[in-house]
Chain A
Amino acid sequence: MTPKYPLLCGFQEVVVAKDFIATVAVSGKALAVEEPEGGWWIYGVNPGGISASGETLQAAHAQLRETFRQYLFDVADEARGFDAFKSEVHRFFQATNQPTDEEWKEAVAEVRRGGVNLADVAKAPAESPREIEIALVAVRNVQAPALAA
């Protein structure tokens, strides 16, 4: 049976867009899978629309963070202002991946039975609140250069 590990992941990013600067702090859920043929995958639960792989768990986690960062900049690039950015990123975070969530819960039960463990990873209550905080840091007013006359 492929080992599966329920993770609680926290990231914080600063997003610099055309017309605003924001911070995004996310406490999410994800499922890590150690593939039998080698390598690791991490599948998002909240947010559910994301996944990443790597040769090690740490590498997969770093790739997950990078993918999330790229997603934020994709949204910031297209959003018409901070409110639109905030709304879209909230929607992304709240979109639970239901099948992965079911596997995540099964994996939590397996950890509690002592069936799986990650030696170098701290444990935290599975019921810890999962949330996202998006804060406006500054409104940017970047104008095209003008010729002084």
Chain B
Amino acid sequence: MLDHCAPGYNLRETKHHWCVTLGSAVYPTLPKGPHGDRTNPSIQIGHIKQMARQLSILDCAKEFLQLK
């Protein structure tokens, strides 16, 4: 999704999170690892929505991920 909607983004690993940067916008708290409970992915999509809002790529992310 980031490759498609946020060309030029930077992904950096910190101790607890992924830090995603796009231009001057930063989302430093994307969860690492299994990204929560993959048996219930719908409850984890909130992280992606909030990141997309913060990076101003929400419309593209919604279309790409077919979010409501």
Binding site for B on A (CB under 8 A): 33, 35, 37, 39, 41, 43-44, 48-51, 53, 67, 70-71, 73-75, 77-78, 91-92, 95, 97-100
Show 10 residue pairs from A and B whose CB-CB distance is below 8 angstroms, ordered by the A residue.
Answer: A37-B42, A49-B51, A51-B50, A70-B29, A71-B28, A74-B16, A77-B14, A95-B25, A98-B53, A99-B58
- Given A35-B43, A74-B28, A95-B26, 9 more pairs with CB closer than 8 A: A43-B49, A49-B27, A51-B46, A53-B36, A70-B17, A71-B28, A74-B14, A74-B15, A75-B28
Binding site for A on B (CB under 8 A): 14-17, 19, 25-29, 36, 42-44, 46-47, 49-51, 53-54, 56, 58
Set of chain B residues within 8 Å of A99, measured between Cβ atoms: 53, 58
Given A49-B28, A67-B29, A95-B26 in contact, is the A78-B14 Cβ separation under 8 Å? yes
| Contact among A39, A92, A95, A100 for B43, CB-based, below 8 A | A39
Q: By the criterion CB–CB under 8 Å, are B53 and A97 in contact?
A: yes
Q: Smallest distance from the beta carbon of B58 to chain A beta carbons, Å?
A: 6
Q: By the criterion CB–CB under 8 Å, are B29 and A50 in contact?
A: yes
Alpha-carbon distance A70/B18, docked complex (angstroms): 12
Alpha-carbon distance A71/B46, docked complex (angstroms): 18
Q: Smallest distance from the beta carbon of B1 to chain A beta carbons, Å?
A: 16
- Residue among B42, B46, B47, B58 with max Cβ neighbours from chain A (10 Å): B46
Alpha-carbon distance A73/B28, docked complex (angstroms): 12
- Residue among A37, A51, A67, A97 with max Cβ neighbours from chain B (10 Å): A51
- 7 pairs of A and B residues whose beta carbons are closest in the complex: A70-B16, A51-B50, A74-B14, A41-B46, A99-B53, A49-B27, A50-B29
